Amino acid sequence: MDSTSTVRLCLFCLLLCAAAPKPTCDPSACPACPEPGPEGCCPSCAPACACPPYLQDDCEMQGFSDGRVPTGSSFYIDFARKLCTCQPSGDITCSSRCDPVPASCQAVGSPVADGCPSCVCYDEEEVAVLAGSEVSRGGQLCTCPPQGGQLQCSDGGKA
């Protein structure tokens, strides 16, 4: 092949490459990402997490109806006692929102609306009283010790 043919072949290849259609970017087809891409195109984002079957109902109830949770997004489970977050790795991790109960706790219950377990005392009607608090029961003032357990009642200082 002579040099003229080689030059023609190279020019033909360059023209073909220049005439080839360029890929277009449709931003509405992009996944939701916190940062815009160059020229409004789709950014490279971490993939969304797939809700595992045991969390599917929780995902759907909290707006992830397609079963996919975007990276960095979270949802609650276990009556809002745990927060589950989609990690950049593609895994969903869940962590407790409740403080751990001390090992010295003598009785455990959930007397507060957040549903987290706490040290408590139970009165004669099996109502949980938060450790460290005082309540009046009839004419008595009752105290639940810091470690919970037995409710301690007095006559309220009456003689």
Same domain, 136 and 85: no
- What is the number of structural domains in the chain? 2
Q: List pLDDT tens digits, range 25-38.
A: 555 555 555 555 55
Q: Is the domain of 43 the same as that of 81?
A: yes
Length of the chain: 159
Distance CA(122)–CA(131), nearest Å, equals: 10
C-alpha dist (Å) from residue 33 to 48, 61, 120 = 10, 22, 45
Distances (CA, A) of 118 to 26, 37, 80, 83, 86: 52, 47, 16, 19, 29
pTM for the full predicted model: 0.52
Does 15 fall in a domain?
no
pLDDT for residue 49? 93
Distance (Å, whole) CA 99 – CA 75: 19
The predicted model gives 80-98 an average pLDDT of: 91
Please tell me whether residues 65 and 89 are part of one structural domain. yes
Q: What is the pLDDT of residues 99-145, one digit of tens each?
A: 899 999 999 988 777 788 999 998 878 888 999 999 888 888 999 99
Determine the Cα–Cα distance for residues 92 and 148; give it in Å rounded to an integer: 35
Closest CA to 59 of 46, 47, 69: 69
What is the 8-class DSSP label of residue 100?
A: P
Under 8 Å between Cβ of 75 and 51 = no
Q: Which residue among 97, 117, 146 closes a domain?
A: 97
Whether 21 is in a domain gets the answer no
Is 65 contained in some domain? yes
Same domain assignment for residues 116 and 144 = yes
Of the CA atoms within 13 Å of residue 85, those in its CB half-sphere come to 8
Is residue 76 one of the residues assigned to a domain?
yes
Q: Is residue 49 part of a domain?
A: yes
Per the domain annotation, does 82 fall within a domain?
A: yes
Look up the domain containing 57 and give its range.
37-97
Ramachandran area for residue 56 (φ above 0: left; ψ -120 to 50: alpha; else beta): alpha
Give the per-residue pLDDT at 16.
Answer: 47
Instruction: Let me know whether 85 and 125 are in one domain.
Output: no
